Amino acid sequence: MNRLIRGELIKARSSRATWALAAVAPAFCVLWVVLQALLPAPSDALRLAGVYNMAQQAYLFTLIIGILGMTGEYRHQTITWAFLLTPRRGAVMTAKLAAYGLVGLAVAAVSALVTLVAGVVALSLAGHAALSPDVPVILLGAMLSTAIYAPMGVALAVLVRNQVAAVILAVLLFTYGDSALAWLIPDVFAWLPSGAARALGGMRAEGGALLPAWGGALLFTGYVAAIALVARLVTLRRDVT
């Protein structure tokens, strides 16, 4: 298993798309940090949570990294060689999930660090409190939720093997789909994947609209585990040629 994971990490590292997305993710977080620092907030606590939770905005990039890592195998038919070298398809799937979880964690860690620096600078320049004891917890939760999106991308890509279709579906689902459903049924957002991930990432809302961080962690991890389980079963049964 260790060799399989190392092999998947080499594949990810050799992809220019991985490096490009990893580079853009922190810059995207900075843009959101500046926006959040300038927006009015009901309290300093909500402002700080809103600013440092922007480390989670890297989630879209880790999600796409995971999708490309899996759909690229089908697109170039290297998945056939992977299963010939390691006939245990479940082991290959597990290794890919683990490897891209590590890649996602690395991207998330850099994004969190950049968000911390940008947040301190932006809040200080705007004349607001720049730090609080909650900031490390918020950044840690944002980092974990962002990292988990990468293996989710891998699992989704098994179900939707076409690269373009998988990316478009994931972007629409996790940027507009959840929001649209939450607009129609406001009380359901906290129980959707995006709501759970945002709760884990330290996002706060007036009136306690989101789950606590631990609840978001359990729910979001459960979503990813369920999708990964379905993807594993599909991988075992589906013809890859």
Q: What is the mean pLDDT of residues 222-230?
A: 91
Let me know the angle formed at the C-alpha of 182 by 146 and 31, rounded to the nearest 5 degrees. 40
Q: Give the residue with greater pLDDT, 116 vs 194.
A: 116
Q: Among residues 197, 236, 202, 240, which one has the least CA distance to residue 218?
A: 197
Q: What is the mean pLDDT of residues 115-144?
A: 92
The answer to whether 138 touches 54, Cβ cutoff 8 Å, is: no
As a whole number, the mean pLDDT across the chain is: 87
pLDDT of 148 above 50 = yes
Rounded Cα–Cα distance for residues 152 and 30 (Å)? 24
What pLDDT does residue 115 have? 96
Rounded Cα–Cα distance for residues 187 and 240 (Å)? 41
What pTM was computed for the model?
0.89
pLDDT of 149 above 70 = yes
Out of 34-48, 51-65, 199-213, least confident range: 199-213
3-state secondary structure 32-89: HHHHHHHCCCCCHHHHHHHHHHHHHHHHHHHHHHHHHHHHHHHHCCHHHHHHHHCCCH
Rounded Cα–Cα distance for residues 40 and 16 (Å)? 39
Give Cα 163 distance to the centre of its chain.
Answer: 18
Amino acid at 232: R
Is residue 238 very low, low, confident or very high in pLDDT (cuts 50, 70, 90)? low
The string of pLDDT tens digits covering residues 69-86 is 998 887 777 777 777 667
Is residue 64 very low, low, confident or very high in pLDDT (cuts 50, 70, 90)? very high
Is residue 21 very low, low, confident or very high in pLDDT (cuts 50, 70, 90)? very high
Is residue 207 very low, low, confident or very high in pLDDT (cuts 50, 70, 90)? very low
Rounded Cα–Cα distance for residues 4 and 66 (Å)? 16
Task: Using CB atoms within 10 Å of the CB of residue 74, give its burial: 0 to 12 exposed, 13 to 18 middle, 19+ buried.
Answer: middle
